[in-house]
Amino acid sequence: MNVMAKAEKKISSAFIYFFGSFGGILFGYDIGVMTGALPFLQADWHLENAASLVGWITSAVMFGAIFGGALAGQLSDKFGRRKMILMSAIVFMVFSVLSGVSPDMGEASAYYLIIVRMLLGLAVGAASALVPAYMSEMAPAKARGRLSGLNQTMIVSGMLLSYVVDFLLKDLPGEWAWRLMLGLAAVPALILFLGVLRLPESPRFLLRKGDEAQARKVLSYIRKNPAEIDQELASIKETAKEERQANQKTSWSTLFSGKYRYLVIAGVGVAAFQQFQGANAIFYYIPLIVQKATGQAASSNLMWPIVQGVILVVGSLVYMWIADKFNRRTLLMVGGAVMGLSFILPAVINWMMPNMNPMTIVVFLCIYVAFYSFTWAPLTWVLVGEIFPLAIRGRASGLASSFNWIGSWLVGLIFPIMTASMPQEAVFAIFGIICILGVLFVKTCVPETRGHTLEEIEEQGTNHGRVKDSNPEN
């Protein structure tokens, strides 16, 4: 036991935070990898005119994630965050390999891959739920904002990694290209598994299971001051007691009672708008978008996903720099307005000038991604984490996550169907209108949370008021 304790003592906080957030790499890799694999898969399986199947293959991961996040949240309360992250990594490895070795059986192959990717989605959804929970329970309060930014950076870095892998494999024979692109997702999953084997369990979970001695030991790895450890242990105990009492008094119907309705609608609405604004249409289908705009083969346009990935990573770093300098509502409204115009203007320009350069739409999509990357992408989850009162936080956060995944799934499913039946500019104009509606929603239905205590936010919800969009002191 003493040998084990000494081994655990060697774990640095940097190692814990790095591998604690590494699940975001898996999440991001699988969001991005189909972008490059899809053109080769379409050609290999002759799916160029099968918009519905293409939509289902692409969106199947998000469909599985709807259930994976909810399931992982419940199981992690029973078995622990660490064990469930390990399980997610195993599931991710297995079904990534099974995706890469999909049998070639005609149309039946597409249904096989859809089912496998749905099961893979269970792991993606679990990672999206477990990583932020683990990180928030391990990080000191003063670092939670920056570490939330680290999780977002890991996600977009995973997307960029998948785009680079797709680009490097694009000159292989078509069948080998898409199979390796999908199968190599097992590599970051293996790295995550090996890294998490050395991670300690969350002190919050250990205390809930009555193991205060081990919880204290874990906190000693990541907190330097013994007094700080004692204070945090006491705080965790008090919070756990309040949560138990809250869960005994609340039900799903409580979310939409007069007292909480305003805040629940605000948080769930922002989470839903983030996806229905169409960002994932770009991330999943950018080579096909460029192909439709220029006539060039999608498989020769795999540099564009890398451009999008670089913009996302830079944007996540910009967010970490500006996160505490501007109000949440201000960033969401400015970002949403520019995103909406980036979608609508190409349709207007094309209507006024039918001979518009076809690459104009791609330039505007880059502007969209840039503003999305440091506004709606990270701020949605910052706001969801702040806006729900303790009594309903668990259920309301789960509901917000479910609506977010439902939006992600629907956008991935219907985008190829929409572009097969109407001009591409018109499809993006529809998403642009949704972006503008999102701005109006934030302006009228979402309170400002930066600089306000949770009690102040809850009071605003109780009174159906709205926190003034002032610049509160930090």
Between the alpha carbon of residue 78 and those of residues 349, 359, 436, 460, 468, the distances in Å are 56, 52, 42, 34, 41
Question: What is the total count of domains within the chain?
Answer: 2
pLDDT along the chain (474 residues), means of 10: 43 78 84 88 86 90 86 79 90 95 84 94 85 74 64 87 91 88 93 90 83 83 76 77 65 72 89 92 87 73 88 90 84 96 92 81 92 91 77 76 88 90 90 97 87 65 49 45
Asked whether residue 281 is domain-assigned, the answer is yes
| pLDDT confidence of residue 343 | 94
Asked whether residue 34 is domain-assigned, the answer is yes
Which CATH number characterizes residue 93's domain?
1.20.1250.20
Domain housing 31: 12-199
Angle between helices 144-169 and 107-138 (to 10 degrees): 150
| pLDDT confidence of residue 246 | 62
| pLDDT confidence of residue 105 | 76
Say if residues 465 and 266 touch (Cβ distance below 8 Å).
no
| pLDDT confidence of residue 231 | 80
Among residues 172, 199, 226, the one where a domain terminates is 199
Asked whether residue 401 is domain-assigned, the answer is yes
Among residues 177, 199, 221, the one where a domain terminates is 199
Asked whether residue 238 is domain-assigned, the answer is no
Interatomic CA distance for residues 364 and 377, integer angstroms: 18
Are residues 192 and 339 part of one domain? no
Asked whether residue 471 is domain-assigned, the answer is yes
Asked whether residue 219 is domain-assigned, the answer is no
Between the alpha carbon of residue 350 and those of residues 120, 154, 336, 355, the distances in Å are 40, 37, 22, 7
Nearest Cα neighbor of 197 from 292, 336, 73, 83 is 83
As a three-state string, the secondary structure of 138-171 is: HCCHHHHHHHHHHHHHHHHHHHHHHHHHHHHHCC
Are residues 158 and 49 part of one domain? yes
Asked whether residue 239 is domain-assigned, the answer is no
Are residues 164 and 34 part of one domain? yes
Are residues 291 and 191 part of one domain? no
Are residues 255 and 339 part of one domain? yes
Are residues 441 and 360 part of one domain? yes
Are residues 44 and 188 part of one domain? yes
Are residues 387 and 447 part of one domain? yes
Nearest Cα neighbor of 455 from 233, 148, 203, 242 is 242
Element (H, E) at 124: helix 107-138
Among residues 155, 170, 199, the one where a domain terminates is 199
Are residues 256 and 187 part of one domain? no
| pLDDT confidence of residue 3 | 38
| pLDDT confidence of residue 6 | 43
Structure tokens at 24: 């975001």
Asked whether residue 227 is domain-assigned, the answer is no
Are residues 273 and 186 part of one domain? no
| pLDDT confidence of residue 335 | 96
The identity of residue 139, as a single letter, is A
Are residues 349 and 464 part of one domain? yes
Are residues 332 and 191 part of one domain? no
Say if residues 137 and 81 touch (Cβ distance below 8 Å).
yes
| pLDDT confidence of residue 4 | 39
